[in-house]
């Protein structure tokens, strides 16, 4: 059975790959992003390539006051919603510029959490639905190299966990996705280790599989579970001497 799939933050590499993965299975796609009309080419490609209906929707994750209006304005309530909203920024800039830090915190935590809260309420009322939040391994433990971004993702991970617990008996499933490094435009300037770096299509495939199998928390590359387990096990007295 196919259901409309809402992709929030649809302009990112992971989001576009995820839209293609669901469209390939016959799901209608709702692409939501700022300046959504500029995604006409992506819309046409999905429609032509996969023969599914694709609609474009203006969405600003930071406009939390407008989230209910956005959800209720969709032509049909989606069966699956994937949130790929987020921005990393530069840690040194985030430390020194409050405005940049706020943008990172709101983009990765506040905006995604609020819109998922609205969708959760609508899914509960209907009696079914799946929410997929793309978080990050960066949220597993705060690290000097990216603790502003990491703390925002930690908040989103905790939110998804609580939401999953709240909705467990409501036939609404919540999936937390932790991709690790991904080869995208956002990370193009970084020298990433190949064995730890996934491609957007790999993330998309993992999301589809997690939805189908009703998984709760997934690390796109399982090695990240081991890596983060080790990092989280390091005593604080030792960890604070590192600069990872």
Mind telling me the catalytic residues?
A: 149
CA-angle at 85, arms to 79 and 91, nearest 5°: 155
DSSP 74-96: SSS--SEEEE-------HHHHHH
Query: In terms of DSSP bridges, do strands 172-178 and 197-198 run parallel, antiparallel, or are they unpaired?
Result: unpaired
Residue pair 152/95 in contact (Cβ under 8 Å)? The answer is no
User: In Å, what is the CA distance from 234 to each residue of 57, 228, 237, 242?
Assistant: 45, 10, 8, 10
Q: For the chain, what percentages of helix, strand and coil (3-state, to nearest 5) are there?
A: 55, 15, 30
């Amino acid at each position: 059975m196919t259901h409309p799939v809402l992709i929030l933050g649809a302009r990112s590499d992971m989001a576009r790959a995820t839209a293609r993965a669901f469209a390939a299975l016959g799901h209608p796609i709702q692409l939501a992003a700022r300046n959504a009309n500029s995604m006409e080419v992506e819309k046409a490609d999905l429609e032509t390539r996969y023969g599914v209906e694709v609609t474009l929707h203006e969405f600003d994750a930071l406009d939390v006051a407008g989230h209910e209006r956005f959800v209720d304005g969709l032509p049909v309530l989606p069966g699956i919603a994937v949130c790929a909203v987020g921005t990393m920024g530069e840690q040194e800039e985030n430390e020194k510029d409050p405005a940049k830090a706020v943008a990172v915190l709101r983009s990765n935590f506040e905006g995604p959490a609020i819109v998922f809260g609205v969708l959760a309420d609508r899914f509960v009322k209907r009696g079914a639905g799946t929410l997929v939040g793309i978080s990050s391994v960066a949220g597993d433990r705060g690290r000097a190299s990216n603790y502003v971004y990491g703390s925002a993702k930690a908040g989103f991970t905790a939110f998804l966990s609580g939401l999953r617990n709240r909705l467990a008996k409501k036939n609404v499933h919540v999936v937390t996705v932790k991709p690790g490094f991904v080869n995208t435009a956002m990370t193009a300037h970084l020298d990433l280790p190949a064995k730890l770096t996934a491609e957007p299509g790999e993330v998309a495939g993992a999301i589809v599989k997690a939805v189908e199998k009703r998984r709760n928390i997934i690390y796109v590359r399982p090695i990240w579970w081991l890596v983060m387990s080790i990092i989280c096990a390091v005593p604080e007295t030792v960890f604070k001497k590192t600069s990872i």
